Structure 1
Amino acid sequence: MTDQTEPSTALATDSVGKHDWGPFGRPLFQDPGARALSRVGVVDIGSNSVRLVVFDGAARSPAYFYNEKIMCALGAGLSESGTLNPAGRKRALAALIRFKHLADGMDLPELTLVATAAVRDASDGAEFCADVLRETGLRIWVIDGREEARLSAQGVLLGWPGAYGLVCDIGGSSMELAEISGGRVGRRETSQLGPLKLVDVKGGKKGRRDHIAAVMDQLQEAMGIQRDRLFLVGGSWRAIARIDMYRRNYPLHVLHEYRMTPAGVAKTVNFIAESDPEDLRNKCGISAQRMGLVPLAAEVLSRLVRTFKPKDIAVSSYGIREGLLYEQMPQRLRDRDPLIEACRFAEAKDSRLPGFGRTLYEFIMPLFKSAPVQRKRLIKAACLLHDVSWRAHPDYRAEVCFDNATRANLGGLKHSERIFLGLALLHRYSNKREGTPFENLYDVLDEKTCLDAEILGKAMRFGAMFWMQKDADRGEFRWYPKKKQLELHLSPAVLPLYGEVAEARLESLASSMGADLTVKTRRRTPRG
C-alpha cells in the first residue's frame, strides 16, 4: 500500500469522454476496470465490533450490498490483562466463520480483513490471527495506528473528493488523527484515547481529564495548527451526533455529512453529562454497549475541539472500510464525482429510458445558465434521478422521490443539498409540496432555495414530456431573467408531443419563475 493518496478533484472529467458525453463525462461503471471493483468485501476487526461490509454498484460511489456488525468487545480489559477479552475472542471467531460462509455464498473473490488497536496491542493477538487462519483460511492484516489513520482519511476522501481538514477516527482502544488536503493524506498520529483505554486511567474523573488534556497537547504539537474542518469517524462519534440531533430536534436523521459547531458540541457534551444514560440511549436508538462508552468519548471530543479549534465539524459514516475500497481504485476513478457516478448508475439500472437524463439536463440548462457550479452539479444529479422511482404508486411517487434523495447512500452531499435534491424530485411529479410528511425538512432551506428547487422540478416535469429519439431536435428554452421573459422555441418534430398536459406543465413552470411566457414554433427547413 502506498503512503499517500494521489491528488483528487471533485468534478474532474475523463478527457477521452468529454466530447462524447458532454458535461457528465464518460460513466466509468461501464468500463471493465471499474466493474472489477463492483463487489468488494472487507472486514474491520475493531476493539468494540467486528463488521463485514460488501460494497456493490457504481465503483466510485458504491452501495452497501451487505453490512453486518457484531459487538465483540475484543479490547475490553486489555489495559489490565494485556490480552484480548476471552469472551469477545470467541464471539469474534464465530463472527468471522459466519462472514466467511456469507462471502462464499456471495461468490466474493476474496475478503480483506483488517485488525486495529485491540489485536495489535494484545499479547495473544498473533495467536488469535492464527486461530482465524486455521478455522477460516482468512488472513488478517494487523495495521499500526498511523496506517489506521491513513485508511480512515481515505474513507473520508471517498465521500468528499478534494476535502481538506483534520480526520479524527475513534475506536474502542485508540484514536487516530490525519490531515487531508488537495486529495492527499498528510501528517498522521495515533493515541490511546479510545474509551476502553480511558476506563482504566487512575485518578477518577479529574485524573482522566488531565490525561486526555496531556495526550491532546502532544497530538497538537505533532499535528500543528488544524483549524479547518474536523471530520469525525467512528461509532462513538456517530452516537454523539445522534444525541446532538435529538437535543436540537434536527429533522433529517442522516448521520453522514451531519454538521455540528464547536459551541453545539459543548452544549451536547453537557447534555450527555446531565441526562440519564438509559433514557438517552432509548430515545436516540443507541445500543447499551455503545452508550456505556459515550460519556468517555464525549470528554475526548470536548478536549479535541478545544485544542484544535476547528471552523466546523462534519460526521463521516465512511472510514477504514471505505478507505480500503478507495485503496483499490485507480486514480481515474478517485477523480470522479461520487454523486454523479452514483446517480448515473441509478439511472442505468432503474430508469425507463437510460441516457435521457443527460438530454433533459441539456434541454433545461438555459434556465440555469447563471447558477453556480455546485448548483449545476445538483441539477445534473436531479436529471439523472428524475425517472428512477417510476415504479412507485402514482399517489406516492413524489414522496418516494423525496425520501429516496434525502436518505439514499449518496456521497458528496451536504444535508441542505440532499433536501434541495429531494424537493426538486418531488416537484418532478407534483406541483405542490404542501401536505407531505416532510414539511419540517423544508425549513432547512431558505425560501429562495425552495423556489429554485421547485423551478428545477417543474422544468424536469415539463421536459419529461418529450421522450423522443436520442438525437432528435426538441427545440430550446430562452430565458431573459432581467425582463422576466421565458420563451420556448419548439421544433416541428416535437409539436405532436406538445399537448394539453405539456402546456399546463409549462404554464406552471412559468408561474413559479414569475415569467411572461411565449411559445414559438420553428419553421420547417425546406428540403433539397
Structure 2
Amino acid sequence: MSSENAPQTVAAVDLGSNSFHLIVAQLSPGELKVMDRLKEMVRLAGGLRPDRTLDPEVREHALACLTRFGQRLSGLPDDRVRIVGTNTLRRVRRADDFLEQAESALGHPVEIVSGMEEARLIYLGVAHSLAVSPEDRRLVMDIGGGSTELIVGDGFTPRRMESLYMGCVSLTREHFPDGRITAKRFQSALTAARQELEPCGETFRELGWAEAVGASGTIRSAAKVLAAAGWTEGAITRSGLETLREALIKAGHVDKVDLKGLGADRAPVFVGGVAILLAALEELGMERMDAAEGALREGLLHDLVGRIRHEDVRETSVAALAERYHADAAQADRVAETARYLLEQAGPDWDMDPEWSGPYLRWAARLHEIGLDIAHSGYHKHGAYIADNADILGFTREEQDLLSALIRSHRRKFPSAPFKELPKRWSASARRLAVLLRLSVVLHRNRRPVPLPEMTLRAREDKLRLAFPDGWLEEHPLTRADLEEEANFLKAAGFTLKLE
C-alpha cells in the first residue's frame, strides 16, 4: 500500500461547557473508523466566576483531564488533530492563562469556535451518523453546558443555524442555584428558555423539516429515561417530557433525582436540560424528537478529513464573503497571486510554513477590499471589523482575528494592536504576512491587468531587499514612489525595506 493510501490516525477533542470528549479514528480510503473514545464530566461552565476567570478547583480538574487526553494524542502531528473550545472558553477572559496551560497539557493548539461554527460542526456530525440523502430536511438540536444550537439542513448542508445563550449547566445554575426543584422554579426556567427561542422560532417553523433529532448527552439521557420508565417507546415526546417534569419536581432536589437511565454525573444539571428540551418542543411546535449519536466531535473529525482531502469549507466561506461585499475579484486575484509569489521568495528566509501561512495570506488578499462596500475612507478598518465580527463558517475565533489583523494592516500606518491579540505562536509570522500583503497591494495599486516583472524578495529577520530588473523602477516612477512611501510605513513598524 502506498504511503498516500496508508491508514492515518486522526483525532478530535471537544472542550465543552459540561464535559470534555476525545475521539480517535483511523482514516483510510473510503472509511473513517473510530478506534477510541474518552469522556470526562468537567462542568467548566459551573466554574466560570463573575470576573470571567475559572474557579481553581475546576481549573485543576480540567487540566488533569487534558493531561490524560494529551497522553493519548502524543505523537500525532498537529494537522491530524483538532481541538475546539465552545461557549465557556469563548467567555473566559483572554488574559486568563488557562488556554496556554490547556495547550501545554494536550500538546496541541486549542481553537475557540463561534456559536455558529459550533452549530455547523454539530450538524455535520449528526448528518454523518444518519442515513441521509440530499433531499432529507431535518432539524438538529444540541443542548450543551452553556449554549444550545439549532440547525435546519438538507442532507449534509446546514441551511439555517442559531446558537442560543443557554445550556443545561447555566440554566440549572440560574434557576435552581441551591439544587431545590419546585414547580415555580421549573416554570421560570421553562419561560426563560422559551424567551431565548422566541426570536428564531417562527423562522425555523417556516423552513419546516421531516424529522427532528437531538445530538447532546442531555437529549440522549432524556430519551433513555423516558424509555426506561415506559413513558415513551424510545423517542422524546412532549407528553413524555411533561411526565418527566413532574417526576423531577416530585424529587424536590437535584441530589434526589434518581431515574433509571440517567447517569450520576449528569443528574446535577439534568433539570436545566429538560427545561430547555421541553421549551424547544413547545416553542417550535414539535411533538417528537429522536436522539442521534453524532455530535460536535464527530463533526470535527469529518471536517478535519475534508481539510486533509483539500475540501476546506473555509475556501467557500471566503468566496461567499467577498461576493457579499462586492469585492473586485480580478484585483483580489492579482494581489493574491503576487502575495503567493512573495511568500515563495521570502518564506524560506523567514522559516515560514507555507501549508499554514499560504491559505491565510490568500484569504486576506481576497478579502482585503471588502470594507469598500461600506465606505472608501478607512475601508481597511471597515473590512477588519467585518472579518472580525461576521459568522465565517469554518474559521475559529483566532483565525478570524488573524484575517482581521491582516486586512486592517494592509495599507497606511502599520498598526501593532491587532497583532497583540493573536496567539503568541502566530504573532511574528502574522506581522510578516502583513508585510507581504502590503507589498502586493502596493505593487497593484494601479489596478491594471499588466504582469509584473520578475522580482526577488529576500528577508533577513526584519530587513527586506526587493530587487527588480535593471531600469524597471526608473520606467515606473509611480510604483517606485509608492514603494518608497511603503518603506517609510514599514520603518515605523520596525521593518527595513531596500529597493534595488
Bucket of the pairwise TM-score, normalised by the shorter protein:
0.5 to 0.7
What does residue range 114-263 of structure 1 map to in structure 2 within 5 Å?
A: 114-124=84-94, 127-160=97-130, 161-162=132-133, 163-201=136-174, 204-225=185-206, 226-248=208-230, 259-263=235-239
Out of 267, 282, 285, the residue aligned to residue 309 of structure 1 is: 285
What does residue range 312-391 of structure 1 map to in structure 2 within 5 Å?
A: 312-330=288-306
Following superposition, the deviation at residue 294 of structure 1 comes to 0.9
SS at match of 1:153: helix
Q: Which residue of 2 aligns with 1:296?
A: 272
Percentage of pairs with the same residue? 22
Cα distance in 2 for partners of 1:65, 1:153 equals: 22
Change (3 A) 1:125 1:315: farther
Structure 2 residues without counterparts, runs of 5 or longer: 176-183, 310-500
Q: What do the CA deviations read for 1:65-112 (whole angstroms, capped 9, x no partner)? A: 111112222111436342223222222222222222222268997431
Change (3 A) 1:323 1:32: farther
What does residue range 81-100 of structure 1 map to in structure 2 within 5 Å?
A: 81-100=51-70
Cα distance in 2 for partners of 1:272, 1:63 equals: 39
Cα distance in 2 for partners of 1:296, 1:285 equals: 14
Change (3 A) 1:263 1:283: closer
Cα distance in 2 for partners of 1:259, 1:50 equals: 26
What does residue range 259-270 of structure 1 map to in structure 2 within 5 Å?
A: 259-270=235-246
Cα distance in 2 for partners of 1:281, 1:34 equals: 50
Change (3 A) 1:116 1:134: same
Structure 1 residues without counterparts, runs of 5 or longer: 1-29, 252-257, 334-528
Q: Which residue of 2 aligns with 1:71?
A: 41
Amino acid in the other structure paired with 2:220: R
Change (3 A) 1:125 1:239: farther
Question: Does the aligned pair in 2 maintain the 1:189–1:223 contact within 8 Å?
Answer: no
SS at match of 2:44: coil
Cα distance in 1 for partners of 2:266, 2:58 equals: 15
Question: Does the aligned pair in 2 maintain the 1:228–1:311 contact within 8 Å?
Answer: no
Q: Which residue of 2 aligns with 1:283?
A: 260
Following superposition, the deviation at residue 259 of structure 1 comes to 3.1
Question: Does the aligned pair in 2 maintain the 1:149–1:188 contact within 8 Å?
Answer: yes
What does residue range 45-64 of structure 1 map to in structure 2 within 5 Å?
A: 45-56=15-26, 62-64=32-34
SS at match of 2:294: coil
Q: What do the CA deviations read for 1:345-396 (whole angstroms, capped 9, x no partner)? A: xxxxxxxxxxxxxxxxxxxxxxxxxxxxxxxxxxxxxxxxxxxxxxxxxxxx
Cα distance in 1 for partners of 2:29, 2:244 equals: 37
Q: What do the CA deviations read for 1:254-289 (whole angstroms, capped 9, x no partner)? A: xxxx533343333334344435766754632502x3
Amino acid in the other structure paired with 2:14: D
Question: Does the aligned pair in 2 maintain the 1:164–1:183 contact within 8 Å?
Answer: no
Q: What do the CA deviations read for 1:418-471 (whole angstroms, capped 9, x no partner)? A: xxxxxxxxxxxxxxxxxxxxxxxxxxxxxxxxxxxxxxxxxxxxxxxxxxxxxx
Question: Does the aligned pair in 1 maintain the 2:49–2:55 contact within 8 Å?
Answer: no
Change (3 A) 1:78 1:59: farther
Cα distance in 2 for partners of 1:263, 1:59 equals: 45
Cα distance in 2 for partners of 1:278, 1:81 equals: 28
CA RMSD of aligned residues (A): 3.5
Change (3 A) 1:235 1:79: farther
TM-score by length of 1: 0.50
Question: Does the aligned pair in 1 maintain the 2:215–2:294 contact within 8 Å?
Answer: yes
SS at match of 2:191: helix
Following superposition, the deviation at residue 146 of structure 1 comes to 0.6
TM-score by length of 2: 0.53
Cα distance in 1 for partners of 2:151, 2:293 equals: 16
Cα distance in 1 for partners of 2:5, 2:249 equals: 48
SS at match of 2:190: helix
Q: What do the CA deviations read for 1:188-233 (whole angstroms, capped 9, x no partner)? A: 1111220222135469444333221211112314534345321111
Following superposition, the deviation at residue 176 of structure 1 comes to 0.8
Change (3 A) 1:114 1:59: farther
What does residue range 361-440 of structure 1 map to in structure 2 within 5 Å?
A: none
SS at match of 2:140: strand
Question: Does the aligned pair in 1 maintain the 2:12–2:24 contact within 8 Å?
Answer: yes
Change (3 A) 1:171 1:220: same
Amino acid in the other structure paired with 1:146: M
Q: What do the CA deviations read for 1:16-44 (whole angstroms, capped 9, x no partner)? A: xxxxxxxxxxxxxx9986755x5311111
Change (3 A) 1:306 1:239: same
Following superposition, the deviation at residue 122 of structure 1 comes to 1.6
Amino acid in the other structure paired with 2:150: L
